[in-house]
Amino acid sequence: MICKKCCLIIFIFFTFFLCSIAADRTYRLQLVWHHQFQFAGYYMALEKGFYAEAGLDVEILPVKKDSTPINEVLSNNADFGITTSGVVLNYFDGYPLVSVAAIFQKSPLVFITKADSGIETIWDMEGRKVMLLDDMSSLELVSLLKKYGMLNKIIRQPSSFEIQDIIDGRTEVFNGYRSNEPYELESKNVKTNIIDPFDYGVKFYGDILFTTSQMIFDYPEDVEAFKQASIRGWKYALAHTEEAIDVIKNVYNSPKTKAHLRYEANIIQELTQYDLVPLGFQSSERWEQIADMLMGIGVVGRTRDLSGFIYEAPEAINWEQMKAVVFVFTIVLLLVVLWRYITLFNAKKTILEKENMMILQSKYAALGEMLGAITHQLKQPLNGISIILQNIEDSSGRKDEQKWVGHGLELVQHMSATIDGFRMFYRNERMDREFSVALSVCGAFELSSGYLKYYNINYILSCSCGKRETLCDPSNCEDAHKHCDITLYGNSNEFKQVIMNLIQNSREALMNLEQEEKEIRVNLAFDGELIRIEFSDNGPGIQPEILDQIFEPDFTEKDDGTGLGLYMSKKIVEDHYNGTIRAENADFGARFIISFPVN
């Protein structure tokens, strides 16, 4: 018994001893280059106390001329480092390295030529003098040359890091950072061309935050805390660029001018693609593509899979809090889906004439591919949320909880169907079936009832499928179906989206009006040959001069509008149901009339 007590005391002592060591530990971050905006997120995480709030003591180490961040981390001279996508080669060579976060979604490494050199593409580099670092440091550039069989067709020169060499003609193609050398050349009135590997399918990440597998094993919570505090620092730096620039100049004594740092900040904002994906995001699919490319061009042999290379945060689920947050999270996720859809669409827009349909079709094809990627990423968490909600519903005995959880499940199912609808709309992957028009219209109003009630907007549903018009109970979808049993063949969720777009337009027209009576009226009619839906409101109506434009892509009068809603509705009605949709001004507001032939 005494022996057991002694062992327990020793165990407790060493536990507290090791915890105190972990608490007093200083984590060292090794930079890959001199102080500049390239590392602004880490500077701000330190200066704003984000590391300290996470319980971490962090030291940022400047670049070392005779070593690399990978060597410093493997030698235990640093705990974390910043490097390129080439770190995957070290992993394949057996080194215990782990990619914690990809800060740049696009590598900044590019080829730079003078505008008057005649070198605008990779094929123009044949027989020209090209500066390169070693294969590891210039991996993206070397991979680009190997991919297109150009490595042996250039005159390779060791990089001098001096842009004067390209100005004076000692080299014709300079390897550099998109955020650095172009600015320096332009400041000397030298116009440039950029040859970006990303444009040729060499889509490597840039500025990888990495550590060792041993560090993750020994201090898993600290590694996660370091990652999150660093990302928080990056968010702050990108939102407060002037403050970050002052810190880089005043605290870290960067030799760059503020104008140069501002230029760098704008380029880095683009490289992070923060408006499209979360900061630090990395996917196993993209790392697999990078590895496959490196194998295909003979840079590396595949010696192990990537399961140990891509960092995964330790799982910790608080089931007590899950009930409280899962419903809110579901709503937020819906907003994220819509926000990402709009953002990705705008990111692909170009300033070209709308009449050029070939360009327009190309834009929507690219948008469809990106929407496919989003749906792939969002389907898994949606399924997980649905399972969690079902478990909570099964375990709860309270009717009010079951009611709200049930409503949450309906929203999750609608979100999942909407995501599938986006994919099918652009990829022609359809799961058509016969559905009730009345039930779909009524269902759209049910999903919109929350914000309609908030703005005191009434909605009235009537059916004219018989000899006279019959008012239906809008809260009872079966009542509407009973009075107007008409069906269409197609995708019901897609059809419902058309109705919800019209509801959204009417809501925006009515919500700020001071009139007491605000209402939306929908009448379903069937004369044996045509199904007709008349959708109207008592708002201010549509300006006559824009009536012919409201269904055009990109047309909107709202500051935050996308010009997609009515265009997509028109495409769905015409292309998928062989119907028509038109708008007009009635005596009391706007009216949309949709007509479908009988299936």
Query: DSSP string spanning 211-254?
Result: EEHHHHHH-HHHHHHHHHHHHHHHHHHHH-HHHHHHHHHHTS--
Edge-to-edge, what's the strand order for the sheet holding 174-177?
Answer: 174-177, 109-114, 192-195
pLDDT digits over 466-497, tens only? Answer: 667 777 776 677 777 777 778 888 888 888 88
For the segment 530-552, the average pLDDT, to the nearest whole number, is: 87
According to the model, what pLDDT value does residue 46 have? 98
For the segment 239-262, the average pLDDT, to the nearest whole number, is: 96
According to the model, what pLDDT value does residue 23 have? 47
Distances (CA, A) of 586 to 153, 237, 535, 538, 583: 70, 52, 11, 9, 10
According to the model, what pLDDT value does residue 469 have? 76
According to the model, what pLDDT value does residue 356 have? 46
Q: Are 151 and 143 in contact (CB under 8 A)?
A: no
Residue 271 has pLDDT above 80, yes or no: yes
According to the model, what pLDDT value does residue 389 have? 62
According to the model, what pLDDT value does residue 327 have? 67
d(CA 254, CA 172): 29
Confidence of residue 17 (pLDDT cuts 50, 70, 90): very low
Do the domains spanning 109-200 and 434-597 agree at the CATH topology level?
no
According to the model, what pLDDT value does residue 371 have? 54
d(CA 538, CA 229): 51
Q: Which residue has the higher pLDDT, 391 or 488?
A: 488
Burial group, residue 346, by CB count within 10 angstroms (0-12, 13-18, 19+): middle
Confidence of residue 105 (pLDDT cuts 50, 70, 90): very high
Superfamily name with CATH number, domain 109-200: Periplasmic binding protein-like II (3.40.190.10)
d(CA 120, CA 11): 67
CATH number of this structure's domain 2-106+205-296, picked from the four choices 3.40.50.460, 3.40.190.10, 3.40.50.720, 2.40.50.140:
3.40.190.10
Q: Which residue has the higher pLDDT, 578 or 515?
A: 578
Alpha-carbon 287 to chain mean position: 17
Residue 178 has pLDDT above 90, yes or no: yes
pLDDT digits over 399-447, tens only? Answer: 656 655 665 666 666 666 656 655 554 554 556 788 888 888 888 888 7
d(CA 81, CA 207): 9
Q: Are 557 and 495 in contact (CB under 8 A)?
A: no
Residue 145 has pLDDT above 70, yes or no: yes
* pLDDT above 90 coverage of the chain, percent: 46
Superfamily name with CATH number, domain 434-597: Histidine kinase-like ATPase, C-terminal domain (3.30.565.10)
Lowest pLDDT segment from 97-111, 118-132, 311-325, 462-476: 311-325
Instruction: Please name which of 343, 389, 352 lies closest in space to residue 370, comparing C-alpha atoms.
Output: 343
Query: Can you give the residue ranges of every domain in the chain?
Result: 2-106+205-296, 109-200, 319-427, 434-597
According to the model, what pLDDT value does residue 481 have? 72
Per-residue tokens: 72? 């410093």
* pLDDT above 70 coverage of the chain, percent: 77
Alpha-carbon 219 to chain mean position: 30
According to the model, what pLDDT value does residue 548 have? 83
Burial group, residue 398, by CB count within 10 angstroms (0-12, 13-18, 19+): exposed
